[in-house]
């Protein structure tokens, strides 16, 4: 099965174009999701599909990165400091998600099957990912 980024439907691409147009119009301010839905006249589902497709095509088109912050909502951003803060926040969220997956699912599975090849491999790989994300999450630009 092809990757999600190569499975873009024509509808999702139209929604992405609409979302991009609305966000470029709102620049430099951002839009909260409800504002984006209202401004684009898309349904919430269509707006989410458009955002996902837009994230997949941004690099191909050479557009600035799309970020989301609590105070500003969705917006295109070129400020390196703001981009780094966003990236670290996303990494910290993923780190929390992986830690909860390890402690809530993988560790109990390992306790049930201590000699299981799959669970040992999974545990090793996830601990490696956790370690890498931890280093990135603690990064402070000096």
What pLDDT is recorded for position 1?
47
DSSP 104: I
- Count of residues in the chain: 142
pLDDT in tens, 94-107: 999 999 999 999 99
Whether pLDDT at 142 is above 90:
no
* Average of per-residue pLDDT across 7-29: 91
Whether pLDDT at 56 is above 50:
yes
Which phi and psi (to 5°) does residue 75 adopt? -160, 155
- CB proximity list for 123: less than 8 A, separation 6 or greater: 102, 106, 107, 110
Answer whether the bond into residue 28 is a cis peptide, omega within 30°: yes
pLDDT in tens, 84-134: 999 999 999 999 999 999 999 999 999 999 999 999 999 999 999 999 999
Cα 87 to chain centroid distance, Å, stands at: 9
What pLDDT is recorded for position 2?
52
**Cα gap 134→137, rounded to integer Å:** 5
CA angle 122, 123, 126 (to 5 degrees): 80
What pLDDT is recorded for position 45?
96
Helix (H, G, I), strand (E, B) or coil at 74: strand
């Amino acid at each position: 099965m092809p990757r999600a980024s190569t499975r873009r439907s024509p509808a999702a691409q139209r929604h992405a174009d609409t979302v991009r147009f609305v966000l470029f119009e709102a620049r430099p301010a951002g839009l909260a999701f409800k504002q984006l839905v209202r401004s684009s006249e898309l349904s919430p589902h269509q707006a989410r599909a458009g955002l996902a497709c837009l994230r997949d095509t941004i690099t191909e088109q050479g557009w600035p990165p799309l970020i989301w912050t609590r105070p500003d909502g969705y917006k295109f951003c070129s400020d390196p400091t703001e981009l780094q803060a966003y990236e670290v926040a996303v990494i910290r969220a993923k780190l929390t998600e992986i830690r909860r997956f390890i402690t809530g699912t993988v560790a109990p599975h390992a306790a049930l099957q201590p000699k299981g090849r799959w669970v040992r491999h999974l545990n090793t790989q996830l601990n490696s990912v956790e370690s890498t994300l931890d280093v990135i999450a603690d990064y402070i630009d000096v």
